[in-house]
Amino acid sequence: MGTTTATAPWKQLLLNALQSNSNLKHSSFVQLATIGSNGKPSNRTVVFRGFQENSDKIQINTDSRSHKIEDLKHCPFAEICWYFTDSWEQFRINGRVDVIDGSNADPIKLQQREKAWFASSLKSRLQYLGPHPGLPSLIEQPSQEPSLDPSTGPVGAYCLLVLDTDQVDYVNLKSNERVGFASRLSGNGEKSWTSEKVNP
């Protein structure tokens, strides 16, 4: 028998897993799978950049010139997979991804993009000044490394991805436990969650 709650019950499980595996540098890396216009899946490793304020929406930084943006414009649904090696926990989290680049018309989303930009390290921000990802490398590299004023706002290539979660599949291999979480919207647009224990 499942239970229903207004808050996302999987979020605390994930925060606990992040905390108990915080000694491992790779614990903030997740795999993000998308579907391309050719109908084939693409998977890559990205960095978890936290939850959007007061929500269960997951933030990921990316380059607006990368193939994943084309994939998400074709099909806005994606899934991330996380495995925590110390606690033997896996999270498969899927939902709809909002792509927020500099051309977004919503001022609130542009503020979220700017906030996420300044929350990133300067080294991370410099990546967006590099050559177009996925294109052949030029033999001659630029003689000067790109530089960036730390107070400068997001550059054009910087894009914030926000995953609005619909379903979560949680597996704990130590306790041999598996729980499925699913969201649904009420008539007034509020999200609620159901959870159900399932066979591992």
At residue 126, what are phi and psi to the nearest 5 degrees?
-65, -25
Give the mean pLDDT of 170-195.
92
User: What pLDDT digit, counting tens, does each position of 64-106 carry?
Assistant: 999 999 999 999 999 999 999 999 999 999 999 999 999 999 9
**Residue 6 confidence (pLDDT) above 70:** no
Residue 95's nearest CA partner among 11, 27, 198 is 11
Instruction: List the structure tokens of 137.
Output: 């490398």
Question: Burial, 28: exposed, middle or buried (Cβ in 10 Å; 0-12, 13-18, 19+)?
Answer: middle
Instruction: Report the first-to-last Cα separation within the chain, whole angstroms.
Output: 16
**Residue 1 confidence (pLDDT) above 60:** no
* HEC sequence for 66-125: CHHHHHHHHCCEEEEEEEECCCCEEEEEEEEEEEECCCCCCHHHHHHHHHHHHHCCHHHH
Q: Which residue has the higher pLDDT, 141 or 62?
A: 62
Q: Which domains does the chain have, with CATH numbers?
A: 3-129+157-198 (2.30.110.10)
DSSP assignment letter at 173: T
Label residue 142 by pLDDT band (50, 70, 90).
low
Residue 102 and residue 154 in contact, taking contact as beta carbons nearer than 8 Å: yes
User: What pLDDT digit, counting tens, does each position of 21-34 carry?
Assistant: 999 999 999 999 99
Residue 169's nearest CA partner among 183, 159, 158, 179 is 179
Q: Is the pTM of this model over 0.85?
A: yes
Return d(Cα 200, Cα 133) in angstroms, integer.
39
Give the mean pLDDT of 138-143.
63
Secondary structure percentages of the chain, helix, strand, coil, to 5: 20, 40, 40
Radius of gyration of the chain (CA): 18
**Residue 5 confidence (pLDDT) above 90:** no
